[in-house]
Structure 1
Amino acid sequence: MHRIITTIYWLLALSYITSTLTTTYSWSFLHKAAPILLLGVIVWKRASLSTRWWLIAGVLSSAAGDMLLALPLKHSFILGLSAFALAHILYSKFLFGWRNLNRLNLLTVSLFSAYLVVMLFLLLPAVGSLRLPVIGYFVVISVMFISALAANTQGYALRLGALLFLVSDSLLAINAFITPLPLQSVLVMSTYYAAQFFIVTGCIQLVKEPKGD
């Protein structure tokens, strides 16, 4: 990714993260989504990017999720959760063409399964009526994560992005349902912006490499 665009992305992300430590303002939902929308422009400009529409749609769905969670709507959490769930489905669809299940190993799958069991054990008693949406969200983010691990690429950006997305969502869930975290907005948003950056970077790198069987 071009150095200038990368710099702009991180400046936008840093400015929003910093703003979460101060007073809220009416257009914060646009500020929050601005770095992700920039990623969408980057993918759009990659005219030769195979099946780029799935990736663009995933990025735009993520931006919609950012705005929905930031807006003072009655059902903003469910709407935002749904948008991010759709983003994970679209990312998974993009990655499907580069799947190579031989890249998965027992240790990684076992560790991820243990993570899921622990998170659901902690969250389900605390989420009340949101139990089904939360379970559904963990299903789709699991599909995205496994798809990233199974992608036929020699780079690490994609896997790092998927891992950081798990970290960000886990921190968000723990803060929302289990216990407040210090500087939660900084922790959640910094890992989130890094996750999106590395996922898109990894997907762009992916198309330059052979597809899986």
Structure 2
Amino acid sequence: MARKVLILLFLGLGIYYVFFFHTIDSSLKMVFKLLPMVLLITLAFLTKIPVKSTYYWLISIGLIFCAIGDYTLQWFIIGLCFFLTGHIFYIFAFRSANTAKTPIYAKVILLLYGAIMMFWIAGSLVQKGDIVLAIAVAAYIVVILMMGWTSFRTGSSFAIIGAMLFIASDSILAINRFMLDVAYSHELIMFTYYAAQFFLMLSIAQYFKISSKTEIKSVQ
């Protein structure tokens, strides 16, 4: 019951911040931005599974670092570093799983997409002389694509959807910040971002079920 209430609160507050952002007083905008993430972190730690696996802890810690990134993104490089750390925890979570393999089509798509984004955004920053920022953005692109790549190892549809949504959210953010104005950028960035984190939180329970079935089959 408590979990359902928290999910409803997350959905309500998330939708409010995404679509009614401009009606929120400027002094409260950060509070409303962080509340959905606080609820997701709480939901992650309250996930009822018999064994608190490595995956459970790494995803939960990743959510915490991303929440800190939400706050510190107002100082862009600092926020980027916290999000980068959050993604690294997600990568280690996905790498701790060995349930499935990343399909060839996913590898090809992610590599092509990464090359395009690297050339377009990081290359543009180099041309402008923003070398440090270009390096930071390039490192971020590599890490987030690695997160998407390794998400397939879990065999969890929620983990894969969450990772892909995160790539979409960060891509829109980067394009809007460095390349061109994206219509409804706030709505697109935050909707895909909250959805990504929500699915990653849900993947904790789903991965436990998948890994448990795998262990039973291996014993048989």
Alignment TM class, shorter chain as reference: 0.7 to 0.9
Structure 2 match to 1:157: 158
Deviates more, 1:43-52 or 1:190-199: 43-52
Matching residue of 2:72: 68
2:17 corresponding residue in structure 1: 16
Whether the 8 Å contact between 2:95 and 2:153 is mirrored in structure 1 is no
Secondary structure, aligned partner of 2:124: coil
Q: Which residue of 2 aligns with 1:53?
A: 57
Output the amino acid matched with 1:87: G
Whether 2:23 is the aligned partner of 1:25: answer no
Output the aligned Cα RMSD.
2.1
Give unmatched runs, 5+ long, in structure 1. none
TM-score after normalising by structure 1? 0.88
Superposed displacement of residue 19, structure 1: 3.7
Counterpart of 1:42, as a letter, is L
Give the structure 2 partner of residue 106 of structure 1.
104
Shift of 1:24: 5.1
1:127-179 deviation per Cα after TM superposition (whole angstroms, max 9, x unaligned): 3231110111112112211111121x2x4111111110010000001100110
- Residue identity matched to 1:112: L
SS of equivalent residue, structure 2 residue 210: coil
Partner of 1:177: 178
1:61–1:87 CA contact under 8 A, matched in 2: yes
Q: Is the 8 A contact 2:41 2:64 kept in 1?
A: yes
Q: Tell me the secondary structure at the aligned position of residue 21 of structure 1.
A: helix
Higher helix share: 2
Which residue number corresponds to residue 198 of structure 1? Answer: 199
After TM superposition, the structure 1 stretch with the greater mean CA deviation from structure 2, 43-52 or 116-125, is 43-52
Aligned to 2:4: 3
Q: In 2, distance between residues paired with 1:98 and 1:134?
A: 28
Number of equivalences: 205
